């Protein structure tokens, strides 16, 4: 199964390092980040889970809940967390799913046979409170993810969900945004009272409306 943007993220029940969870119940009204790693006790994955733990406060202030997954068993996850905390100077408190039968991996298309028939690739899904898939990113096993980019995308998704704006290339929270084509130029002053610039008729910018 290949999930696409706008698809409903499948619900599931799974064993995790914090106990058994129902995915939808765990998320509640929060945003979610679900990401997979190829195997426990591997170097790149150790740094990724450590980075995620160190960014716990950043995810929390954005109302985002994080879950990791691999097809290794629960006892390996629990043992590995000790190594992650020690080497990455963090405290892993988010759940790591033990997907031994590959149920979740198959639901989310995390196994790419041409890369590996047994291990999950580095898939990452951002899921909105409506349980719709908002973003997917897939990295090869050899390349660690950029979690600052994940936070940047979440900022953009949460902003553009509330306002008729889009974010330009390399945008960061607090910078000017683009007024979408759905807003007539004549309505911009009323809808975006902080001011605007008309660079081209199709390219209109305004200060970030929620700052």
pLDDT of residue 117: 45
Same domain for 187 and 83 = no
Which residues make beta-bridge pairs with 138?
Answer: 123
Q: How confident is the model at residue 120 (pLDDT cuts 50, 70, 90)?
A: low
Q: What is the CATH number of the domain that holds 183?
A: 3.30.1020.10
Classify burial at 191, counting beta carbons within 10 Å of its beta carbon; exposed 0-12, middle 13-18, buried 19 or more: middle
Helix (H) or strand (E) holding 118: none
Q: How confident is the model at residue 140 (pLDDT cuts 50, 70, 90)?
A: confident
Q: What is the pLDDT of residues 38-79, one digit of tens each?
A: 889 999 999 999 999 999 999 999 999 999 998 899 999 999
Which one of 45, 66, 84, 165 is the catalytic residue?
45
Predicted TM-score (pTM) of the model is: 0.92
pLDDT of residue 183: 97
> 5 lies in a domain?
no
45 is catalytic: yes
pLDDT of residue 141: 79
Q: How far apart are the C-alpha atoms of 60 and 31, rounded to whole Å? A: 10
Q: What is the CATH number of the domain that holds 86?
A: 3.40.30.10
* Long-range contacts, stretch 52-61, CB < 8 angstroms, 24+ apart: 52/92, 52/94, 52/147, 53/84, 53/85, 53/88, 53/90, 53/91, 53/92, 53/93, 53/94, 54/88, 54/89, 54/90, 55/147, 55/151, 56/91, 56/93, 56/94, 58/151, 59/33, 59/151
Same domain for 29 and 105 = yes
Q: What is the pLDDT of residues 10-32, one digit of tens each?
A: 999 999 999 999 999 999 999 99
Q: What is the pLDDT of residues 171-206, one digit of tens each?
A: 999 999 999 999 999 999 999 999 999 999 999 999
């Amino acid at each position: 199964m290949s999930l696409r943007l706008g698809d409903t993220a499948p619900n599931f029940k799974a064993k995790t390092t914090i106990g058994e969870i129902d995915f939808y119940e765990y998320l509640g009204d929060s945003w979610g980040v679900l990401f997979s790693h190829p195997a426990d006790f591997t170097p790149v994955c150790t740094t990724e889970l450590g980075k995620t733990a160190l960014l716990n406060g950043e995810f929390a202030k954005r109302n985002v809940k994080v879950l990791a997954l691999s097809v290794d068993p629960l006892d390996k996850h629990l043992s590995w967390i000790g190594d992650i905390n020690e080497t990455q100077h963090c405290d892993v408190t988010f759940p790591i799913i033990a997907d031994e039968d590959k149920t979740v991996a198959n639901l989310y298309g995390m196994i790419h046979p041409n890369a590996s028939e047994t291990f999950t690739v580095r898939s990452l899904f951002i899921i909105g409170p409506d349980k719709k898939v908002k973003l997917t990113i897939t990295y090869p096993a050899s390349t660690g993810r950029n979690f600052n980019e994940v936070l940047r995308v979440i900022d953009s998704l949460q902003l553009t969900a509330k306002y008729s704006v889009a974010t330009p290339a390399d945008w960061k929270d607090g910078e000017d945004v683009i007024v979408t084509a759905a807003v007539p130029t004549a309505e911009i002053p009323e809808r975006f009272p902080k001011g605007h610039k008309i660079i081209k008729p199709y390219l209109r910018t305004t200060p970030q409306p929620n700052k």
